[in-house]
Amino acid sequence: MDAIRVPTSGSAAQRVEAELRRAIVTLALPPGTRLSEQEIAERAGVSRQPVREALIGLARTRLVEILPQRGTVVVKISVRKMMEARFVREAIETAVARRAAEGFDRSARERVDDLLDLQAKAAAREDHETFQRYDEMFHATLAEGAGCGLAWEAIADIKAHMDRACHLTLAGSMAPLVDQHRAIVTAVDAGDPDAAGAAMRAHLSEILRALPRIEAEHPDLFE
């Protein structure tokens, strides 16, 4: 395990949990990895208590499993959980896109353009981790601009089950994802809720097309 890059905001437990979540989602900590409280604490420069709290938080969102007498392990990707997460995310984010088309904050709209430019640059240099970070920021800003930032917070935990599978699909497919984001924004700018909802639905269905391939290519990562 590489050194834990602990963020600077939030409690120690929140910071460790955020970094471990990032490592799990990007597969830096692949399914099946055993996690040591002591090792994580040493690498993060914290005591074991916040690490224990972080692992409990990750267990709550079912990214790790705490096994009595056996330690903590990163769970394998569950297609069932992933599909449930996609269902919930589609329901919420389609509604967000429709609402954004009915009225969108001007400053958030400017941030969206900046994020799309940054995401396109990350795609051009095949920077998967940065691309995913801007992807999250795009969706969060869309919700904030539509006046429903809590909608994004509501799916922050469950979407991690999609994110690991999505990370496997990024090679060669990042530029089309940016185009899909632009299609959502075009519909929002046009004030067309139906088109915005349809564009979001199409975007979030991308994983369905890729799933059979990535499951066949990485059987060891899936349940």
Predicted confidence (pLDDT) per residue in 6-50, tens digit: 444 468 999 999 999 999 998 999 999 999 999 999 998 999 999
Rounded CA gap, 115 and 43, in Å?
A: 32
121-126 LR contacts (CB < 8 Å, sep 24+)? 122/174, 123/174, 123/175, 123/177, 123/178, 124/175, 126/171, 126/174
Q: pTM for this structure?
A: 0.86
**108-112, 148-152, 209-213, 219-223, range with the lowest pLDDT:** 209-213
* pLDDT tier, 139 (very low <50, low <70, confident <90, very high otherwise): very high
Give tens-digit pLDDT for 205-222: 988 888 899 999 999 999
Task: Reply yes or no on whether the pLDDT at 120 is more than 80.
Answer: yes
Q: Which domains, from first to last, does the chain contain?
A: 12-74 (1.10.10.10), 79-221 (1.20.120.530)
pLDDT at 196 over 90: yes
Alpha carbons 87 and 167: distance in angstroms, whole number: 18
The predicted structure's pLDDT at residue 108: 96
CA atoms lying within 13 Å on the CB side of residue 73 = 12
Looking at the DSSP bridge assignments, the partners of residue 74 are 64
Question: CA 121, 127, 129 angle in degrees (round to 5)?
Answer: 120
pLDDT number for residue 201: 97
Report how far residue 121's alpha carbon sits from residue 21's, in angstroms, rounded to the nearest whole number. Answer: 24
Instruction: Sort strands 64-67 and 71-74 into parallel, antiparallel or unpaired.
Output: antiparallel
Name the nearest CA neighbour of 159 among 221, 104, 91, 214: 91
Give backbone dihedrals phi and psi of 34, rounded to 5 degrees, phi first: -90, 135
* pLDDT digits 0-9 by tens, 51-99: 999 999 999 999 999 988 778 999 999 999 999 999 999 999 999 999 9
Question: What are the E-state strand segments in 16-125?
Answer: 34-35, 64-67, 71-74
Assess contact for 88 and 158: CB atoms under 8 A.
Answer: yes
